[in-house]
Amino acid sequence: MAERPRARRETVRLLFLIAPSLFWLLVFFLFPLLLVFAISFGQRGTYGGVRWDLTLENYVRFFDPLYLRIFGRTFSIALTTTFLCLLIGYPLAYFIATRPARWRNGLVLLLMIPFWTNFLIRTYAWLLILRDQGVINTFWTGPLHEFLVQIATALPLPLWEILLRATSQPLHLFGTDGAIIVGLVYGWLPDMVLPCYAAIERLDFSLVEAAQDLYANRFRSFTRVILPLTMPGIIAGSILVFIPSLGAYVTPDLLGGAKSIMLGNVIYSQFMSARDYPFGSAISFVLMAVMLVGTLVYFRMGAE
């Protein structure tokens, strides 16, 4: 029986396997991506359309103090979020990694369950907690205030005055950068813990013993052995937290109120209310560029 060369059959099979995904990603991902890039050099049409007069105006406009300030705020919120996640997440990862082996999988599972539940709902839960009529303030102006009133009547002191006045009105937690940061830290904490945990769990603890045998104290053996060896996990976690924080939309929208907005909200309003597609595209592209650079740096570091 005459057979077709095996090599050609393999080529046909390869094409069959990648064609659907290739088509989908080219048409519904890469092409739209290039479209955004192209439109970012266009101009806003009279009725919200796009005029194809090439211009750098949209990128120049990005340097308007108004947008620079929002960019700066977005950047600093993302950075603070990343730092706080690291501060909370690394010891948490260390805690999990130093439990007996039979506990660890369960603890990781417990970490993943909130992570896999709807982000919108998790953010909304914080809205319930932080807003003026929320959980914290219900306690603050309710039981706590009444308790202080009772103490004040029983034992009048000038100190109570200040506390009474403070608890007579709700704390303004909602609508601040702080609220956004809390929401983001909550949302992305597992993204920090999991890579850190993977790195710490892989760590050979006899190396720490070796360091202590060589006269390093606890602090030194941490900074000189544990930290450098788990650095890949820290970097991976930081990027996994930083990137979505930078592009956050839901969190600032729900917890930031009208005053605290981030780049994601600006993009949203350019598309949904201002109908300035070119400018919205330019901001999106800057955002993507920052993230791509971050990811590339990460892979470069990972390659070393």
Partner 1 sequence: MTGSRGVGSGTRRRGRWLARLLALHGVLGYLFLYAPIVVLVIYSFNASRYASGAWRGFTLDWYARLFTNEAIGAALRNTLIVAGVSTLVSTVFGTMVALAMERYDFRGKLAFDALLYLPIIIPDIAMAVMLLLFFVLARVQLGLTTIIISHVAFNISFVAVVVRARLAYFDITLEEAAQDLYANEWQTFRRVTLPLIMPGILGGALLAFTLSIDDFVITFFTAGPGSTTLPLRIYSMVKLGVTPEVNALSSMMLLASIGLVLLSLLLQKGGGGGIEIA
Partner 2 sequence: MAEYAIELRNVSKHFGPVVAVDHVTLSIRDGEFFSLLGPSGCGKTTTLRLIAGFELPTGGEIYIGGQLQGETPPYRRPVNTVFQNYALFPHMTVYENVAFGLEMRRVPKDEIQRRVREALEMVRLPGMENRRPNQLSGGQQQRVALARALVNRPKVLLLDEPLGALDLKLRKAMQLELKALQERVGITFVYVTHDQEEALTMSDRIAVMNEGRVLQVGTPEEIYERPTCRFVADFIGETNFLSGRVKERRPKEVVVLVDGSVEVLVAADREVGVGDEVTIAIRPERISLHAKPPDPRALPGRVEERIYVGTDIRYLVRLTEQTVLSVRQQNPGTDAMIRFSPGDTVYLHWRLPSARLLTE
By the criterion CB under 8 A, which residues form the site for partner 2?
3, 5-6
Binding status of residue 83 toward partner 1 by CB under 8 A: no
Binding status of residue 297 toward partner 1 by CB under 8 A: no
Please give the residues from 158 up to 217 whose contact with partner 1 meets the rule CB under 8 A: 186, 189-191, 194, 217
Q: What residue 18 binds from partner 1, partner 2, none (CB within 5 to 8 A, per partner kind)?
A: partner 1
Q: What residue 233 binds from partner 1, partner 2, none (CB within 5 to 8 A, per partner kind)?
A: none
**Which of 4, 8, 20, 158 lies at the binding interface for partner 1 (CB under 8 A)?**
20
Binding status of residue 281 toward partner 1 by CB under 8 A: yes
Binding status of residue 56 toward partner 1 by CB under 8 A: no
Binding mask 216-255 for partner 1 (x = CB under 8 A): -xx---------------------x--xx-xxxxx---x-
Nearer to partner 2, 6 or 102 (CB): 6
CB of 8 to partner 2, least distance (A): 10
Nearer to partner 2, 9 or 218 (CB): 9
Q: How far apart are the first and last CA of the chain?
A: 52
Binding status of residue 100 toward partner 1 by CB under 8 A: no
Binding status of residue 33 toward partner 1 by CB under 8 A: yes
CB of 13 to partner 2, least distance (A): 13
Binding status of residue 274 toward partner 1 by CB under 8 A: no
